[in-house]
């Protein structure tokens, strides 16, 4: 079996890692964005993965975190886009976004647009960031777009897919969740129909390149039957 074409990660455990090391909770997110995430991208690229989705900020993160924590997360996103877009472009990585970014400040939306535009012709790995993303929200937004067209055509799975955030991205082959949690929390509800799952006890800031290779190796040992 070839390497999974599309790997997605639910990066759980940032705040628990920070508390474990007697650090402010935000430090878990910062370490993950500055050190762990770039390392994982490099590792998955080396394994031949073509698409990588990282759930950076859920709809619940936006609505349920304290104003201070939400502001810190938005600022971290701002710094990441300013610092890492050039690096992604240099590595021939194309960047995409899933989620509703209309809620963010103008400068964030401009940084996102600039990153997408700058990297759109790159032919290496495609890195997809889920920002203010939730599976139910995505499906509701797709329904609104579909019905706004007042279409009378039969609604098929293929047609509905055209209105999803991931319309031009293959469904994930492998979804990894860190932090010892065994749930999907609404992540890629439509796209995950036949995804394989890997649940890791390690907190996300503890993940290494060796862990990524191990998960890929385990995936390659599985038999995927797609309901047959």
Q: Is 61 a residue of the active site?
A: yes
Indicate which residue of 42, 61, 100, 171 is catalytic. 61
Q: Which SS3 state, helix, strand or coil, does residue 17 take?
A: helix
Q: How many CA atoms lie within 13 A of 207 on its CB side?
A: 35
For residues 34 and 97, give the distance between their C-alpha atoms in angstroms, rounded to a whole number: 19
Closest CA to 10 of 161, 200, 223: 200
CB-based contact 129:94 (threshold 8 Å): no
* Structure tokens given for 51: 């698409």
For residues 49 and 125, give the distance between their C-alpha atoms in angstroms, rounded to a whole number: 7
Where does residue 53 rank: exposed (0-12), middle (13-18), buried (19+ CB within 10 A)?
Answer: buried
CB-based contact 188:175 (threshold 8 Å): yes
Q: Is 42 a residue of the active site?
A: no
Indicate which residue of 12, 137, 165, 173 is catalytic. 12
CA distances from 94 to 51, 79, 106 (A): 9, 18, 22
For residues 213 and 43, give the distance between their C-alpha atoms in angstroms, rounded to a whole number: 8
Active-site annotation, residues: 12, 61
């Amino acid at each position: 079996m070839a390497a999974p074409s599309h790997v997605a990660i639910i990066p759980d455990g940032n705040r628990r890692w920070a508390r474990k090391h007697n650090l402010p909770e935000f430090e878990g997110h910062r370490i993950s964005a500055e050190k762990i995430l770039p390392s994982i991208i490099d590792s998955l690229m080396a394994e031949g993965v073509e698409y990588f989705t990282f759930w950076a900020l859920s709809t619940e993160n936006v609505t349920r975190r304290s104003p201070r924590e939400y502001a810190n997360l938005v600022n971290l996103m701002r710094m990441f886009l300013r610092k890492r877009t050039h690096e992604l472009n240099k590595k021939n990585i194309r960047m995409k976004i899933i989620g509703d970014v209309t809620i963010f400040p103008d400068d964030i939306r401009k940084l996102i647009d600039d990153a997408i535009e700058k990297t759109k012709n790159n032919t290496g790995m495609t890195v997809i960031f889920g920002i203010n993303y939730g599976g139910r929200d995505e499906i509701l937004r797709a329904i609104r777009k579909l019905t706004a067209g007042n279409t009378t055509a039969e609604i098929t799975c293929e047609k509905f897919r055209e209105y999803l955030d991931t319309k031009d991205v293959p469904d994930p082959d492998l979804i990894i969740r860190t932090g010892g949690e065994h749930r999907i929390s609404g992540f890629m509800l439509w796209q995950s129909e036949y995804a394989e799952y890997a649940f890791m006890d390690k907190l996300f800031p503890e993940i290494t390149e060796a862990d990524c290779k191990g998960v890929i190796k385990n995936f390659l040992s599985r038999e995927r039957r797609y309901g047959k």
